[in-house]
Amino acid sequence: MDKEEIRKYGLNLGIDAVGFTSIEDYRSEKSPDPHTILPDVKSIIVLGHRMIDGALESKNMRVAMSARMGVMDTSKSHLYLMARFIEDRFKDKAATVLSSYPLDMEAPALGLRGDVSLRHAAVSAGLGRFGRHNLVIHPRFGSRLSFMGILTTLPLASDMPVTEGLCDDCNLCVEACPGKALDIEGKTEDLKCLRASQPYGIGAAIDYIRRFLGKSPEEQQTILKDPRFMSLYQASFIGFHYHCFNCIAVCPIDGR
């Protein structure tokens, strides 16, 4: 059976969870039509890599971010190998979707919307259900999975959905959010989340440039010696530099 051969290959690579959804079962109102990515797409394969518990729960955000970078780097390699396996083994096309950047920065997406909603794909692929934090809760790994996806022309049936209730509505994620981005149930207020979770993101960079321009050489030297400048510089080559994982870290649902 194609699905089980693909799943076995993925698990043997070290991927923690592999799920499948027929394109007909994938629903995401705000995301683009997957056919604009791969015209003959029939299925989405969703890959989940678990996050590192100690780093995720650390108050040292450099340590937490380094673990996220490790997940992203490892999963990118696995994503490529899985897509190549599908094309080589089944002679069907595959198109890869990363967990984060690159993102569409033009309106209306403005970097806030992925080419595929991996959360919705994961739910359709039987890898969990949405929690109060609007993230996917997996029966075994809880909220601690990072998802990537493969669109493919290979027709695959959807895995059975998770029907058991996993979120216990403890509201710990809501209380732990420094940006108050989860106060409205069923909605994550993106800009509130980004202001708290990406203090060295594009908004901070623009503010810093505005401070710098028009200043005297002496004032500019003072600004360049500010540790915040070095943090912005560091973030410029690291990528989206998250400084908050609270909603994931405090979620008590963990089947392990």
Neighbour count for residue 208 (Cβ, 10 Å)? 18
Among 168, 194, 217, give the residue marking a domain's end. 168
Residue 214 lies in a domain: yes
Output DSSP code: residue 137: E
Same domain (yes/no): 97, 21: yes
Same domain, 150 and 226: no
The pLDDT, as a whole number, for residue 208 is: 83
Put residue 186 in one of left, alpha, beta given phi > 0 → left and psi -120 to 50 → alpha. left
- The whole domain housing 8 covers 2-168
Q: Do residues 195 and 153 share a domain?
A: no
Specify if 245 maps to a domain.
no
**pTM of the full predicted structure?**
0.89
190 shares a domain with 157: no
Could you please report the per-residue DSSP string of 236-248?
HHH-S-----HHH
Tell me: do 36 and 101 sit in the same domain.
Answer: yes
How many domains are there within the chain? 2
- Residue 223 burial (CB count, 10 A): 14
Answer with the one of 121, 137, 168 that is the final residue of a domain.
168
Same domain, 48 and 110: yes
Residue 83 lies in a domain: yes
Rg (CA), the chain: 20
Q: Does residue 225 sit in the same domain as residue 148?
A: no
Whether residue 73 sits in one domain with residue 184: no
User: How far out from the chain centre does Cα 185 lie?
Assistant: 20
Q: Give the list of residues 6+ apart from residue 20 with CB closer than 8 angstroms, or none.
A: 3, 6, 7, 43, 44, 45, 46, 125, 126, 156, 157, 158, 159
d(CA 228, CA 212): 13
> Is 196 within 8 Å of 177 (Cβ atoms)?
yes
Q: Which residues have CB under 8 Å from 205's CB, separation 6+?
A: 232, 235, 236
35 and 102 part of one domain: yes
Helix axes 2-13, 61-90, angle to 10 degrees: 140
Residue 254 lies in a domain: no
pLDDT at 174: 96
pLDDT at 255: 52
Residue 111's pLDDT is 72
For residues 163 and 99, is the Cβ–Cβ distance under 8 A?
Answer: no
189 and 152, same domain (yes or no): no
251 part of a folded domain = no
Instruction: Provide the pLDDT for residue 143.
Output: 95
- Residues 189, 26, 152, 45: what is their CA dihedral angle, to the nearest 10 degrees? 70
| Domain stop point among 121, 153, 168 | 168
Whole-number Cα distances in Å, 216 to 16, 221, 224, 247, 253:
54, 9, 12, 43, 54
Q: What is the pLDDT of residue 227?
A: 85
7 is a domain residue: yes
**Residues 155, 209 within the same domain:** no
**243 found inside a domain:** no
Distance (Å, rounded) from C-alpha 196 to C-alpha 126?
A: 31
- 75 domain-assigned: yes
Per-10-residue mean pLDDT for the chain, 256 residues long?
Answer: 93 98 94 94 98 93 91 95 97 94 78 88 97 96 96 97 92 96 93 87 83 87 85 79 90 73
DSSP 184-203: STT---HHHHHHHH-TTSHH
- At residue 97, the pLDDT reads 95
Asked if residue 177 and residue 163 are part of one domain, the reply reads no
